Amino acid sequence: MAIVSFWSNTKKETAQTLSMIALASYIAVENNNRILIVDVNLNDKTIKNAYWQDKQEDTKQMIKKMSDGKLDIGSGIEGLSKLLVSGKNSGEIITDYASIVYKGRLEAMLSLMSNVQDDIERVRSVYIDLIKLANQQYDYVFVDVPKTFQDPLTTPILEMSDVVVYNITQRLRDMDEYMAEKANNPLFKKDKVLPLIGRYDRFSKYTKKNIARYIGDKKDIPAVSYNTLFFEAASEGEIGNFFLKFRKSLLSNQDRNIAFVDEVANAAQRLIYKTQEVLMMR
């Protein structure tokens, strides 16, 4: 059981959330691990749009949940936050409020969609406890952490994380910032940081091997490259089907998507190894 945070020190596009989605989906499908995604960002539909088409939940399902006592004047993070604040957190309650991608394998606690200050303050007050509780119930808790250090929740979440996936791009400035943080920030001096390149372009002169050499890493930097079908699926609620359809065991070497799946597989294995390494060193 491990907390894995995905974070970037730049507000520019690093594909942080989509890279997390790719790794979570792949590990859930191929490794049969139980994973919870927690989105700490406010009013962000990236994860929702990746897994589900934008439609209202069936009325019969809502009524059934209410009769089963699974809704507490709201669903998702809003309903769960009310329960946690009240202290009623016995048993595996998170699944009752999470959105299910793969039953028994991958669930998501989506971003709070609200501009009501009371709702925002209540939800933000329970994120730390939610992550700790989820860490007792899931093999992995993947946390999409607000970028940079401006959000007050960023530092405590990074501190409690077993592994921090530091999202970078193939821009030289990003690499320099990564090295500066590793050298000067106590948060990243521990051996729990895994750099990851998002929207990787294999034709850039800054290849995985060259970036590793530049930042002083002994291994190639894991990456999630740009893939047309993946990014289309991420905007159409089809990511769940994407990773079932393009399972590594089902693809031939001639398939145009094999390079993307291989990169995601490599990044996933690097993350799993890093997590096991950190946990063993405790």
pLDDT digits (tens, 9 = 90+) for 3-52: 999 999 988 788 999 999 999 999 999 998 999 999 999 999 999 999 99
Low-confidence ranges of the chain (pLDDT < 70): 55-74, 88-91
Query: Are residues 28 and 51 in contact, defined by beta-carbon separation less than 8 angstroms?
Result: no
Q: What is the pLDDT of residue 10?
A: 86
Q: 270 Cβ partners below 8 Å, 6+ apart? A: 194, 219, 222
pTM of the predicted model over 0.85:
yes
Q: What is the pLDDT of residue 91?
A: 61
Q: What is the pLDDT of residue 72?
A: 38
Number of domains in the chain: 1
Q: How far is CA 213 from the centre of its chain?
A: 27
In the three-class reduction of DSSP (H, G, I as helix; E, B as strand; rest coil), residue 100 is classed as strand
Q: Which of 135, 129, 204 lies closest to 168, judged by CA?
A: 204
What sign does the CA torsion over 22, 188, 45, 232 have? negative
How, if at all, do strands 2-7 and 163-168 pair? parallel
Per-residue model confidence as pLDDT tens digits over 73-94: 457 999 999 988 887 665 678 9
CATH number of 109's domain:
3.40.50.300
Query: Are residues 41 and 180 in contact, defined by beta-carbon separation less than 8 angstroms?
Result: no
Q: 46 Cβ partners below 8 Å, 6+ apart? A: 17, 18, 21, 39, 111, 234
Query: Residue 116 belongs to what domain range?
Result: 2-280
Provide the Cα torsion 216, 219, 222, 225; round to 10°.
90
Query: Are residues 236 and 53 in contact, defined by beta-carbon separation less than 8 angstroms?
Result: yes
